[in-house]
A and B are shown apart, each in its own frame.
Chain A
């Protein structure tokens, strides 16, 4: 057993969120301990070898590994302040911000940080979460697991694939499997719209003639040892299977791209308040959670569309974690931010007692709205911002910047159809 480690800021997860938080916390004077369970930093970006990252942050298009490497290199330049511990799994977080972790070199570790940044990212929903009936053969993968097999390990998971779910990872994997020599028969989407970007529908499916079937799901998996076929079925507007619409599709692989779940076991363990709409912590504009000195950013807080936004959010969390570690406190959350109308959620969910400057409100809508109006107002009725939008879809995270000086009480973010 080694002794207790003391640090200004401990960050759990060295993906895009953790790396950016570490750099900013170090630049704000903190000593940082960055805990990563994998053997390399970079998180999910290591396997996202496609391009399209960094347009907002760097003004150029990068692949995932390049984007991650830029941040990993910046963190490495601050080696005097940022200590990266790989192969290190955080096991618990307590209400006094004590972290226990374990790795093969040090064994169990106890870490007493001045502030904590939660940057654990998210997990994929699995077949078990969907409850697809049928046999349990090999050949059913989450899209991200298949992405890792193809892009990092060099294995093609199958030759004839059906993809369930038209989120961006599923779309990217449709093109990847096609490029690496497999046949993608179709993408099935339960809803009547895709949560993926138009760009990916165009460049990953249409470019290769891969059909996208809306209002369609997989109702059964067939095969003893290996997937031999799936049954697909049309669903009605209540997402119920329409009897008689079943169709057997012969394939050897089923990929699932059916949503991401923020990985908040440690957050729950520490008793931090969670938002059921995001699956992440409730935070204020500084990304401070309900437990003082614990911050959250990136996909563990809300599932983002763009790594660029993760980096920006993480910089906010890192800056204020450093400030908390130095000062011992920050203004507590005071005002609420509420989602109304088609707004499904807003992050941050709280505004602190002493907000500064512009506050970016990130939100998503619950349904496709075309055209739409966004209204940000005080709960007593005063309009802070009103904006017409040609189209909003659940697949695109929206942002509204408001001046904190205009906040008088609780804030409402309303999206309505016009």
Chain B
């Protein structure tokens, strides 16, 4: 399984992305006893915890569209998915094909790669 990472294997050092300062964060401890150091503000603490405990990302890509004036429509996960599920999500996106017309926000896959998060169109494709 690609989505099981033990505490011991997880990265513990991050660059904080909350503001331009970019504090180098270090996360020590496990479970309920996590300590974030290197942060200059509370937002950095929250970011460090999140990145260590459960990093998530929005995935954007594109899928083939048939019968349209363009070959692709762009798509995104309608919300964050676990970072570890990104490869599975991308594999599923690559296999998808849709038929025009497609509207922005239209659901392309209701539950992408078992994440519980739908994949939605972010661009429109008119039928030709």
Contact = CB atoms under 8 A, between A and B. Distances in A.
B60 A202 contact: no
Contacts of A51: 58, 60, 76
B115 to A, nearest CB: 16
Contacts of A198: 15-17, 20, 22
Interface stretch (B1-9, B26-34, B67-75, B106-114): B67-75
19 contacts: A49-B60, A49-B76, A49-B123, A51-B60, A51-B76, A65-B122, A69-B123, A69-B124, A153-B71, A154-B64, A154-B71, A179-B90, A198-B20, A198-B22, A201-B15, A202-B15, A206-B14, A207-B83, A370-B21
B37 interface: no
Nearest to A150: B62
Given A51-B76, A390-B21, A391-B21, A46 B123 contact: yes
Contacts of A179: 59, 61, 86, 90
Contact of A392 (B15, B20, B64): B20
Q: List the 5 closest pairs (A to B, CB-CB), nearest first.
A: A49-B74, A65-B123, A199-B17, A198-B22, A63-B122
Contacts of A207: 57, 83
Contacts of A69: 104, 123-124
B40 interface: yes
A200 to B, nearest CB: 9
Interface residues of A, number: 30
A393 interface: yes
Nearest to B20: A396
Contact of B62 (A66, A154, A393): A154
Interface string B76-107: 10000001001000100000000000001000
A50 interface: yes
Given A49-B61, A393-B20, 16 more contacts: A49-B62, A49-B122, A151-B62, A153-B71, A153-B72, A154-B62, A154-B64, A154-B71, A179-B59, A198-B17, A198-B22, A203-B17, A390-B21, A390-B40, A391-B22, A396-B20
A203 B72 CA distance: 24
B104 A66 contact: yes
A46 B16 CA distance: 29
Contacts of B104: 65-66, 69
A269 interface: no
